[in-house]
């Protein structure tokens, strides 16, 4: 019998041959990699046939659940979806919350691995004892939500679906996967599914798993739910993550006009207080969540509602010089409809705006603050329409290589992934987290900004402490993304790793403590590094664009801040050595042997 919380197997589906099998997951694999991003990384290591294109039919895409899914623990209804990113050519693990996670696990598996390419547009339908390949020609071309609704009408209301939009079908490199109006957004998972002609995955099941200590788990879950509705999460309920916009603007850390400044003069118009006065607002929660951070705004023209988070507000607003809230709401709606990542879309357009203003790109209307041109550019990207839409659908790194003329120095990306809403010159522990991140610049895989916003370091010069703090927050994120739990619970826990170890013990029955979780986190981070090395990673990728060294921040409380290249290189070396890697980031022979052993852990068809 598998441990509590697990089925002990994954489903492997080949779209080309229309075959499927259930593969066992031994206890040592589950204990070593948990679930979510951890288990998904192990499966990528196992199933990836070599350093092929991210869109090659043989390359796998993995949906991974966790032992916590289906439990009474708040925020645990999440899943991870992993693949080689067509945007970065490195590992990509996107997380999301929805009932898809609950029903997916009820199909009787801990993960789903999909390989091959279907001959025609397909919807993959998964139940405990049956896998079907349904024609999806009638929903190909539809926005994700419309496709989900039509397929649910056909399949039955018990199914939960995840689907791509037109951008995924057209292989936009930062296309998303959507479900229940939520998104696995970054890195181009939508394009991977589009290359496989897989429009949607539908799941429904009735298979349950048991917890090792059900009564203790129920008591703890009730107590955690009560704490999760307390002061540690109050700002998310009251104002949502958009509340960060004014805080970051005041500190001079709000990326503005393609990271040329850290303060935006139009920020007040986009504040949650201003938005709440102008637009009808409702609040909602993710599946199995007691926090309730979703803030959904109705548009003035009555054309539906839009969920706003800090990241889409920053990327579609200040980053592009847009202060008009109607334009930002419409841009968010367009991204949702087409299925494109808001951060990469905003970052790529902001880059193009600067290129146009410098005379490097023949797009005379594409200027910072030009709302109509901005919206038209978004639509062109999502549909890969015209030369500009095709160019920018590749992301800022590839676009910069095409444009040339020194534009790579200010393309806002690391490893090809556009930088989220934290200026690294003003948050220099976060700068290290961005530079070394396996997925690229990522605020969810490295929470190093927590240190910058604390009294533990000087955010403009964290010094020798940066490496240890970056590792601490990266390891914590690796565990939360593998269990999987919402990052907003961080402030609720008195002892984060200790309490998470307790959850895992109550569900699985394992004798596990905080120290064991730290070791697991480092194993997962190392496995991601090993995957990237196998796909062609080199040490030169661990860094930041020249802008952050050569151009000090303009305006605001962080004016004049810039990164020191020698100091960052020293911090990267310290990070690598602390991880047990070489100073340059390669895996030494003993670590390579460990990775080889992980890859060959027994797994047989059942």
Element (H, E) at 93: strand 91-97
pLDDT, tens digit, 9 for 90 and up, residues 88-117:
999 999 999 889 999 999 999 999 999 999
Q: What is the pLDDT of residue 110?
A: 98
Fold of 9-203: Aldehyde Ferredoxin Oxidoreductase;  A, domain 1 (3.60.9)
What is the Cα–Cα distance from 176 to 336, expressed in whole angstroms? 9
What is the Cα–Cα distance from 458 to 87, expressed in whole angstroms? 33
Mean pLDDT calculated for residue range 406-416: 98
User: What whole-number percentage of the chain has pLDDT above 70?
Assistant: 99
Residues 6+ apart with CB under 8 A from 543: 414, 435, 568, 572
pLDDT level of residue 602 (50, 70, 90 thresholds): low
DSSP category for residue 115:
E
pLDDT, tens digit, 9 for 90 and up, residues 21-65:
999 999 999 999 999 999 999 999 999 999 999 999 999 999 999
CB-based contact 497:543 (threshold 8 Å): no
Mean pLDDT calculated for residue range 294-320: 88
Domain residue limits, the chain: 9-203, 240-418, 428-485+517-599
pLDDT level of residue 241 (50, 70, 90 thresholds): confident
DSSP-assigned letters across all residues of 422-439: --TTT-HHHHHHHHH-TT
Q: What is the pLDDT of residue 231?
A: 85
Q: What is the pLDDT of residue 175?
A: 98
What is the Cα–Cα distance from 585 to 76, expressed in whole angstroms? 33
Choose among 338, 7, 341: nearest CA to 189.
Answer: 341
Please state, as a whole number, how many other Cβ atoms lie within 10 Å of the Cβ of residue 533.
Answer: 17
Q: Is 509 exposed, middle or buried (0-12, 13-18, 19+ CB in 10 A)?
A: middle
Q: What is the pLDDT of residue 606?
A: 37
Q: H helices within 156-257, ranges in order? A: 166-169, 189-195, 214-228, 234-238, 244-251
What is the Cα–Cα distance from 547 to 351, expressed in whole angstroms? 12
Query: Is residue 342's pLDDT more than 90?
Result: yes
Assign residue 343 a region (left: φ > 0; alpha: ψ between -120 and 50; beta: otherwise).
Answer: alpha
Q: Which CATH number fits domain 428-485+517-599: 1.10.599.10, 3.30.70.1140, 3.10.560.10, 3.30.70.20?
A: 1.10.599.10
Query: Is residue 573's pLDDT more than 50?
Result: yes
What is the Cα–Cα distance from 517 to 503, expressed in whole angstroms? 12
pLDDT, tens digit, 9 for 90 and up, residues 286-301:
777 877 777 788 888 7
Q: What is the pLDDT of residue 70?
A: 94
Q: What is the pLDDT of residue 180?
A: 83
What is the Cα–Cα distance from 469 to 480, expressed in whole angstroms? 17
pLDDT, tens digit, 9 for 90 and up, residues 121-158:
999 999 999 999 999 999 999 999 999 999 999 999 99
Q: Is 157 exposed, middle or buried (0-12, 13-18, 19+ CB in 10 A)?
A: exposed
DSSP category for residue 410:
G
Q: What is the CA radius of gyration of the chain?
A: 23
The token duo for 65 is 């659940």
Longest dimension (CA), the chain: 67
Mean pLDDT calculated for residue range 537-544: 98
CA angle, residues 68, 75, 198, in degrees to nearest 5: 75
Mean pLDDT calculated for residue range 364-388: 98
Q: What is the pLDDT of residue 295?
A: 76
Q: What is the pLDDT of residue 604?
A: 47
- When the pLDDT of each residue in the chain is averaged and rounded to a whole number, the result is 94
Mean pLDDT calculated for residue range 207-211: 96
pLDDT level of residue 605 (50, 70, 90 thresholds): very low
CB-based contact 201:124 (threshold 8 Å): yes
Element (H, E) at 530: helix 514-534
- Comparison of pLDDT for 500 and 275, the residue scoring more: 500
Q: What is the pLDDT of residue 42?
A: 98
pLDDT level of residue 244 (50, 70, 90 thresholds): confident
The class (CATH top level) of 240-418 is mainly alpha
pLDDT level of residue 229 (50, 70, 90 thresholds): confident
Element (H, E) at 491: none
CB-based contact 353:320 (threshold 8 Å): yes
Query: Is residue 273's pLDDT more than 90?
Result: no
CA angle, residues 106, 109, 111, in degrees to nearest 5: 115
pLDDT, tens digit, 9 for 90 and up, residues 158-200:
999 999 999 999 999 999 999 988 899 899 999 999 999 999 9
């Amino acid at each position: 019998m598998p441990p509590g919380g697990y089925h002990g197997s994954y489903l492997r589906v080949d779209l080309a041959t229309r075959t499927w099998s259930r593969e066992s997951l031994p206890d040592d694999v589950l204990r070593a990699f948990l679930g979510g991003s951890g288990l998904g990384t192990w499966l990528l290591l196992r199933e990836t046939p070599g350093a092929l294109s991210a869109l090659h039919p043989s390359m796998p895409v993995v949906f991974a659940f966790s032992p916590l899914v289906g439990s009474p623990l708040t925020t645990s209804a999440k899943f991870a979806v992993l693949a080689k990113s067509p945007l970065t050519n490195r590992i990509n693990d996107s997380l999301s919350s929805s009932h898809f996670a609950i029903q997916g696990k009820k199909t009787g598996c801990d993960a789903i691995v999909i390989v091959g390419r279907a001959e025609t547009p397909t919807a993959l339908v998964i139940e405990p004892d049956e896998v079907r390949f349904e024609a999806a020609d009638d929903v190909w071309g539809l926005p994700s939500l419309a496709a989900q609704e039509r397929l649910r009408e056909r399949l039955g209301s018990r199914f939960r679906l995840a689907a791509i939009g037109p951008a995924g079908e057209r292989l936009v490199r930062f296309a998303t996967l959507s479900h229940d109006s939520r998104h696995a957004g970054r890195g181009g998972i939508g394009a991977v599914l589009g290359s496989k002609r897989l429009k949607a995955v539908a799941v429904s099941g009735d298979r349950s798993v048991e917890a090792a200590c059900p009564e203790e788990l129920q008591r703890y879950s009730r107590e955690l739910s009560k704490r999760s509705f307390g002061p540690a999460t109050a700002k998310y309920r009251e104002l949502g993550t958009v509340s960060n916009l004014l805080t970051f603007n005041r500190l001079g850390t709000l990326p503005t006009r393609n990271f040329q400044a850290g303060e935006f003069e139009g920020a007040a118009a986009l504040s949650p207080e201003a938005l709440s006065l102008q637009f009808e607002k409702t609040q909602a929660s993710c599946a199995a969540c007691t926090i309730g951070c979703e803030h959904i705004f109705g548009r003035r023209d009555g054309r539906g509602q839009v969920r706003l988070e800090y990241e889409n507000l920053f990327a579609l607003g200040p980053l592009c010089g847009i202060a008009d809230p109607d334009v930002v709401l419409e841009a968010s709606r367009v991204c949702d409809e087409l299925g494109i990542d808001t951060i990469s879309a905003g970052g790529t357009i902001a880059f193009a705006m600067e290129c146009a203003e410098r005379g490097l790109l023949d797009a005379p209307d594409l200027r910072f603050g030009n709302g109509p041109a901005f919206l038209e550019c978004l639509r062109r990207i999502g549909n890969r329409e015209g030369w500009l839409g095709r160019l920018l659908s590749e992301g800022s790194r590839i676009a910069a290589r095409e444009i040339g003329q020194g534009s790579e120095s200010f393309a806002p990306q690391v490893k090809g992934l556009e930088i989220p809403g934290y200026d690294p010159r003003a948050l220099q522990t976060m700068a290290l987290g961005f530079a070394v991140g396996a997925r690229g610049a990522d605020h969810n895989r490295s929470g190093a900004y927590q240190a910058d916003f604390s009294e533990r370091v000087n955010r403009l010069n964290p010094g020798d402490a940066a490496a240890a703090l970056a590792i601490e927050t990266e390891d914590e994120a690796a565990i939360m993304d593998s269990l999987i739990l919402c990052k907003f619970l961080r402030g609720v826990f008195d002892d984060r790793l200790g309490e998470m170890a307790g959850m895992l013990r109550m569900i699985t029955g394992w004798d596990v403590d905080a120290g064991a979780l730290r070791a697991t986190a480092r194993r997962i981070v190392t496995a991601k590094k090993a995957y990237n090395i196998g796909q062609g990673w080199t040490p030169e990728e661990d860094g930041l664009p020249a802008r952050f060294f050569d151009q000090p921040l303009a305006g605001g409380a962080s004016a004049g801040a810039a990164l020191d290249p020698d100091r960052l290189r020293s911090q990267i070396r310290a990070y690598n050595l602390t991880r047990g890697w070489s100073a340059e980031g390669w895996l030494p022979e003993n670590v390579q042997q460990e990775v080889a052993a992980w890859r060959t852990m027994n797994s047989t068809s059942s």
